[in-house]
Amino acid sequence: MSSFKEQFEIPGRFRNISFALMAVGIVSVIVGFFMYGSHEPARFWATMLHNSVFFLLITNASMFFICATTLAMGSWQLAFRRVPEAISKCVIPLGIIALIVLLCIVLGDQHHIYHWLDKDHVQHDTILKGKAGFLNPTFFIVWTLLSIGLWIALGHKMRQLSRYLDENPLASVAEGRKYVFKSTIWSALFIVWFALTVASVTPWLWLMSIDAHWYSTMYSWYTFASSFVSGMSLIALFVIFLKNRGYLEVVTEEHLHDLGKFMFAFSIFWTYLWFSQYMLIWYANIPEETVYFKPRVQGVYKGIFFLNLIVNFLVPLLLLMRRSAKRNYTSVAILAVLIIFGHWVDFYQMVFVGPFKDHVDLNLFDFGVAAGFVGIIMFSTGRALAKAPLLAKNDPFFKESVIHHT
Amino acid sequence: MSVKKFVVGCFDDEAVLFPAVKKVRKAGYKLHDIYTPFPMHGLDHAMGLRDTSLHTAGFIYAITGTTTALGGISWVFTKDWPLNIGGKPHFALPAWIPITFELTVLFSAVGMVLTFCYLCQLAPFLKKHHFHPRATDDQFVMVIECTEKTNEDEVKSFLAQTGAKEINVQNAETGWWLGRYDKDTMPFQVRKEKTAFE
């Protein structure tokens, strides 16, 4: 074991790039605030909402992945367990940023984004009046605080459980059983909270309430699928990065193959939800429901909407279908970047069509802010990776992961 | 097909089987096949078999299904018998996607099952020689094909060295023939004769 490179050292270039990206992000936010802040605040806050929510959800998907595989007694994740653990640590900075952005929107009364914030308007709006018990600032803030707070807390507990074994190896089988039981309980708690937040209520509040009159029961699953497939791509990217630098010796093509399978399968799952949501509304053709798709399918967002389908469905479907493509580091890396970009664009059309129905204004400001968030993810993940040994080698399932074979 | 001579060795432990496969291949004997009670991970790799191209066949069946569905439905609803259904356009692509998906899955599933049966020579009323009935129970049966130059006794002693428990020589038909297992000789009867003979 001693011959393995267990301690990750952040390469200078990696750190510089992350700082440069964060600088680009900060400059973009400042420039954007002066460009749009006073006369078109919705534009500024929509960009902040889009990016902070998207990057928060894709990093949070890492902890979901850990917990889901732990519950399923999936051992294969152990070889690279520290990577999703490190990524999930980004939930702390990104969660705080998202919280600030959401609080600014709600408390700053940005009713161009959430028009249910406008109290006078709600009085004359039967639908919004009916939803007022759910769509009100108090519930929004409490639920947002709870969501982010518990993601951080439960995620911290999961990381702690895994880290504890580094200094305190399991002495006996009985202790091992106890550890497995404990991690099962905590991951179950995380999964339950994840189901109540990402898979149901939180996307309703953060994203669906932009189109407050409209609703879809598919929406949260659709958001979850988007964030999970990009989260898996993010894990794959970091695993490939570490492999390239000569770390993670025990990770083989077999693990990469399974990550590739997740990217492939959940791209199809995303399309399934995308299509189910679209087809039912298209078929019923009820004005209250079609209002959501009118600007997306027939309006100015047409290009983005169908680009989504190509990048997030056709490309992964055709290019990741072959076994050899899922076992090739280059092709998985390229597709991971493409999938993350595709779902970023997907979130863009989820957020922006509501406040800006008539024109698409995707410009450098959006990309600059996105670059800033990428920088934060790089910096924070790199730091978390450097803090802990890269191999969770005292975990009872570790050996099973090393000899993993598909 | 033709009748060939085979040396058959039975193993009762997969931990013995895998090194045995390696040794047999290294010694240059011709492996006919290995019959196991359950699918074994890595055995195909150890035997040096190439990856199956069943997936490629499946892909071809699937796109055949996709084109059949899209072609068929669009011809019916736009050319042959256009109907006004709820004011939807005649070319109502979203409504066809579920059926297209179903036909894609149906074509690939049925096609792959049939291809698999063909490749394994499995069909009703089709008979193949069974080298050992307990290959479906608890024995791993390794079959080595003999040529004119092969010395059977040498192969037998070689198999015994690698850990085979029960070794015999069989003259068997390599292909299939028409017949029924309940009407023709039954595998367990073959075995009875063998044990009585030995």
Task: Please give the pLDDT value at position B185.
Answer: 57
* Domains held by chain A: number: 1
Strand, coil or helix: what is B91? coil
Q: Which chain A residues are within 8 Å of B87, Cβ to Cβ? A: 285
Decide: pTM greater than 0.80.
Answer: yes
pLDDT digits over A322-369, tens only? Answer: 999 999 999 999 999 999 999 999 999 999 998 998 888 888 999 999
Are the beta carbons of A74 and A404 closer than 8 angstroms? Answer: no
Is B95 in contact with A278 (Cβ distance < 8 A)? no
Task: Give B45-53's long-range contacts (Cβ < 8 A, gap of 24+).
Answer: B46/B18, B46/B21, B46/B22, B47/B21, B51/A323
| Residue that wins the pLDDT comparison between B22 and B149 | B22
pLDDT digits over A99-109, tens only? Answer: 999 999 999 88
**Is pLDDT of B98 > 70?**
yes
Percent of chain A with pLDDT over 90: 86
- For the record, the structure tokens of B128 come out as 């193949």
Are the beta carbons of B159 and B146 closer than 8 angstroms? Answer: no
Structure confidence at residue A40 as a pLDDT band (50, 70, 90) = confident
Instruction: Over range A375-402, report the average pLDDT.
Output: 93
Is B94 in contact with A282 (Cβ distance < 8 A)? yes
Mean predicted lDDT score pLDDT of chain A: 93
Number of helices and strands (H, E) in chain B?
6, 6
Q: How far apart are CA A369 and CA A28, in angstroms?
A: 6
| Chain B interface mutation, best of A264, A275, A297, highest count of B Cβ atoms under 10 Å | A275
Strand, coil or helix: what is B32? strand
Cα-based distances in Å from A177 to A82, A161, A174, A246, A404: 21, 14, 5, 33, 21
Q: Is A3 a domain residue? A: no
How many other CB atoms are found less than 10 A from the CB of residue B138? 10
Three-state SS sequence of A308-325 = HHHHHHHHHHHHCCCHHH
Structure confidence at residue B192 as a pLDDT band (50, 70, 90) = very low
Instruction: Over range A227-253, report the average pLDDT.
Output: 95
Least confident residue range of A321-325, B123-127, B164-168: B123-127
Are the beta carbons of A49 and A355 closer than 8 angstroms? Answer: no
Structure confidence at residue B68 as a pLDDT band (50, 70, 90) = very high
What DSSP element (H or E) covers A26?
A: helix A12-36
Are the beta carbons of B118 and B83 closer than 8 angstroms? Answer: no
**Is pLDDT of B4 > 90?**
no
**Is pLDDT of B8 > 50?**
yes
Query: Of A136, A188, A138, which Cα lies nearest the Cα of A158?
Result: A188
Is B42 in contact with A405 (Cβ distance < 8 A)? yes
Structure confidence at residue B125 as a pLDDT band (50, 70, 90) = confident
Find the closest chain A residue to B55 by CA distance. A322
Q: Print the domain residue range for A169.
A: 12-402
Least confident residue range of A378-387, B19-28, B143-152, B173-182: B173-182
Among the partner-chain residues B41, B51, B95, the one whose CB lies closest to the CB of A405 is: B41
Percent of chain A with pLDDT over 70: 100
Structure confidence at residue B184 as a pLDDT band (50, 70, 90) = low
Among the partner-chain residues B51, B86, B97, the one whose CB lies closest to the CB of A275 is: B97
Q: Is A81 a domain residue? A: yes
Task: Please give the pLDDT value at position B196.
Answer: 45
Are the beta carbons of B142 and B8 closer than 8 angstroms? Answer: yes
Q: How far apart are CA A219 and CA A208, in angstroms?
A: 7
Task: Please give the pLDDT value at position B195.
Answer: 46
Find the closest chain B residue to A323 by CA distance. B55
Task: Please give the pLDDT value at position B198.
Answer: 42
Task: Please give the pLDDT value at position A2.
Answer: 56
Structure confidence at residue B174 as a pLDDT band (50, 70, 90) = confident
Q: Is A6 a domain residue? A: no
Sign of the dihedral through C-alpha A43, A47, A53, A57: positive
Class of the B3-49+123-197 domain?
alpha beta
Q: Is A171 a domain residue? A: yes
Least confident residue range of A338-342, A351-355, B21-25, B124-128: B124-128
Q: Is A282 a domain residue? A: yes
Among the partner-chain residues B55, B86, B94, the one whose CB lies closest to the CB of A278 is: B94
Q: Residue ranges per domain, chain B?
A: 3-49+123-197, 54-120
Q: How far apart are CA A390 and CA A4, in angstroms?
A: 10
Are the beta carbons of A363 and A50 closer than 8 angstroms? Answer: no
Among the partner-chain residues B59, B87, B97, the one whose CB lies closest to the CB of A279 is: B97
Q: Is A42 a domain residue? A: yes
Q: Is A4 a domain residue? A: no
**Is pLDDT of A127 > 60?**
yes
Query: Of A229, A189, A314, which Cα lies nearest the Cα of A54?
Result: A229
Q: Which chain A residues are within 8 Å of B55, Cβ to Cβ? A: 323
- Confidence check on the interface: ipTM exceeds 0.85, yes or no: no
Those residues of chain B whose CB sits closer than 8 Å to some CB in chain A are: 41-42, 51, 55, 59, 86-88, 94-95, 97-98
Q: How many angstroms separate the CA of residue B71 from the nearest CA in chain A?
A: 20
